[in-house]
């Protein structure tokens, strides 16, 4: 029986790289965005030169949601579906998403944040008094 490795915990700081080293394509010479950067170009993860350059622009996110969404986006970029989850799934499923899909997903989150903010909702969690 083999044990699964425990997830590595990363303490995020403003200078934490957005893209982990093992996801940067060979030959990439450009800078890698840092966690606090206003824009996160995802092109260092893409080996296909014909693909549109995808960038996440944090100033487009409403202030109340920006940092919460930034953490969720970093987790999506750096996380990976475990092999046990992928077993018995469709063979095209992958443990990680492509940069274009990541950018589209995070863009959808931005539109959700704008929609929520326009309705006076400024946090994703719901507070139920007495349940803390």
**Assigned domain for 30 exists:** no
What the block records as the tokens of 58 is 């944090």
Is residue 111 scored above 70 in pLDDT? yes
Q: Is 76 exposed, middle or buried (0-12, 13-18, 19+ CB in 10 A)?
A: middle
Mean pLDDT across the chain, nearest whole number?
Answer: 81
Over residues 62-84, mean pLDDT: 87
Q: Are 75 and 18 in contact (CB under 8 A)?
A: no
Query: According to the model, what pLDDT value does residue 1 have?
Result: 43
Distance CA 45, CA 27 (A): 11
**Assigned domain for 15 exists:** no
Q: pLDDT higher for 125 or 87? A: 125
Bridge partners, residue 39, by sequence:
57
**Assigned domain for 103 exists:** yes
**Assigned domain for 72 exists:** yes
The count of domains in the chain is 1
DSSP class of 17: B
Distance CA 81, CA 100 (A): 18
Beta-sheet pairing, 39-41 with 55-57: antiparallel
Which domain does 101 fall in, by range? 40-78+97-120
Identify the three-state secondary structure at position 57: strand
**Assigned domain for 2 exists:** no
Q: Is 58 exposed, middle or buried (0-12, 13-18, 19+ CB in 10 A)?
A: middle
**Alpha-carbon 37 to chain mean position:** 14
Over residues 53-66, mean pLDDT: 94
């Amino acid at each position: 029986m083999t044990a699964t490795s425990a997830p590595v915990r990363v303490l995020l700081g403003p200078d934490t790289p957005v893209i982990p080293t093992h996801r940067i394509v060979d030959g990439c010479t450009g800078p890698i965005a840092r966690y606090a950067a206003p824009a996160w170009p995802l092109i260092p993860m893409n080996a296909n030169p014909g693909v549109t350059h995808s960038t996440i622009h944090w100033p487009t996110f409403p202030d109340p949601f920006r940092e919460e969404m930034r953490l969720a986006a970093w987790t999506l970029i750096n996380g990976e579906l475990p092999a046990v989850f992928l077993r018995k799934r469709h063979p095209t499923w992958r443990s990680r998403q492509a940069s274009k899909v990541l950018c589209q997903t995070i863009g959808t989150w931005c539109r959700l944040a704008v929609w929520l903010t326009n309705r006076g909702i400024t946090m994703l969690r719901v507070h139920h008094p007495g349940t803390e």
